[in-house]
Amino acid sequence: MGSFEQTQKLLASIMPGEKVDALMEEIRGPAGRTMWDKLGNVNESVLASYLKNEYPQTVAVVLSKIKSDHAARVLAALPEDFALECVTRMLRMEPVQREILDKIEQTLRTEFMSNLARTSKRDSHEMMADIFNAFDRQTEARFITALEERNREAAERIRALMFVFEDLSKLDPGGVQTLLRSVDKDQLGLAMKGASDSLREMFFSNMSERAAKIMREDMETMGPVRLRDVDQAQMAMVTVAKDLAAKGEIMLAASGGEDELVY
């Protein structure tokens, strides 16, 4: 449970770097037991974009090792003159020596697959949930409502992946106290002006009696505040919480309910 970065850090504390890199590639890279199986699951335009910078002879070897239909799509995505040169090399190609094949495979592993794993496409719903998290409250409600009318399933999935201010209520006492030590006190007061009664009480109960009294008085002296300012303060607190979670100092649970997510 956690991010790829946390997993990598954990493994690095008990394994050699090369072993960790290989394991992370297995976790994050395309599926497949061998390098050639993996390449077969890489989008043709992504593979072509990498191969167009290689020697035609190297590309010919790679294309000869993957399935014909995939090789055809990769060739079609390559610049035409370069693709024709690769075809010519494939037609004249003799059995490739094992050491050459091993060298090509190692280059693909270190230069292409490891980079692909780091830049692999995020789930589109996760990406959209992050965007929705950055909306102010009215904009978020407007988009979610409109999306529900067009695609209820997508809207529900995005809502489940979003982490919003009220989700801070799922923090354990230690997490609340860590968060309170990390946020600006003025922002905290402003954010709590728009919080539910239960969330306010959770924060107050994790402060000293004196600090809670001062915070209540500060909130009262603020008087009416703009909703936009409250939204910004709440978003700032959520950002701090996500940063703390990324460092492993607290654990966050998204609004979807059952599955805990570490950002």
Kindly state the tokens that stand for 67.
């399935």
How far apart CA 68 and CA 44 sit, in angstroms, is 12
How high is the pLDDT of residue 260? 44
15 contacts 24 by C-beta, under 8 angstroms: no
Q: What are the tens digits of pLDDT across the range 220-262?
A: 998 888 888 888 888 888 888 888 887 778 887 655 444 444 4
- Residues whose CB is less than 8 angstroms from the CB of residue 255 and which lie 6 or more positions away in sequence, other chains included: 159, 160, 162, 163, 164, 166, 167
- In the chain, the domains with their CATH numbers are 4-118 (1.10.220.30), 163-246 (1.10.220.30)
- Measured in whole angstroms, how far is the alpha carbon of residue 208 from the centre of its chain? 36
Residue among 61, 2, 19, 9 at smallest CA distance from 36: 61
Q: What are the tens digits of pLDDT across the range 3-44?
A: 667 777 888 889 888 787 767 665 555 544 567 777 777 778
Kindly tell me if the per-residue pLDDT of 85 is higher than 50: yes
How far apart CA 30 and CA 127 sit, in angstroms, is 20
Kindly state the tokens that stand for 214.
């001062």
163 contacts 252 by C-beta, under 8 angstroms: yes
